[in-house]
Structure 1
Amino acid sequence: MTNVTMYCTAVCPYCIRAEMLLKQRGVTEIEKIRIDADPGQRSVMMERTGRRTVPQIYINDVHVGGYDDLAALDRADKLIPLLNS
């Protein structure tokens, strides 16, 4: 089973779009880490990813990046194989 983790906030439109794309590709569960609800998680996210913006998405242990990175993987037909690995 694929483990998808997404650092996000409640009002981020790119987070919502990322979740929609992942669900369209068959992901049924996403572990959401809300950095707006738990500000300490922002520091953890920045240390893990080197980035400050949300969403930050991990598929299994692979850091995919943000929504633009996720969409680019999908356009290159590399998202589904990653989800199935």
Structure 2
Amino acid sequence: MVSAAYRRVNGGHDLAESNIVIYTHPTCEICVTVKMELDEQGKAYEEIDLAEFPERWSEVEELADGDRITPVTVENGEVTIGYHGIGCMFYD
């Protein structure tokens, strides 16, 4: 079930309805946990699915000091890498 607060990014940089952006990958179970927590808190967020928009990996690498890791959450300009110190690493 998709929360009403959830909105997928269309590949652009549309943040008009949310000040939370989460970079995710469908194989990362930790991403699911972060999204569930945001839903439970009633927070609106925009999801950037990196499998669907692989050109956006460069943004993750910039935010995560060169790492390809998910989830990466940006809330009001504050960047959180992973979830409680755990993330899914991706390699070329």
Length-normalised TM-score, structure 2: 0.64
Gaps of 5+ in 2: 1-16, 86-92
Would the aligned equivalents of 2:60 and 2:69 in 1 still touch at CA under 8 Å? Answer: no
Runs of 4+ in 1 over 4 A off after TM superposition: none
Matched, 1:64 2:77: no
Cα-Cα RMSD = 2.1
Q: Which has the higher helix share?
A: 1
Gaps of 5+ in 1: 70-85
Q: Which has the higher strand share?
A: 2
- State how many pairs are aligned: 69
Report which structure shows greater RCO (CA 8 Å, sep ≥6).
1
Percent identity between the two aligned chains: 25
Would the aligned equivalents of 1:55 and 1:66 in 2 still touch at CA under 8 Å? Answer: yes
Matched, 1:8 2:32: no
Aligned to 1:42: 57
Give 3-state SS (helix, strand or coil) of 2:37's partner: helix
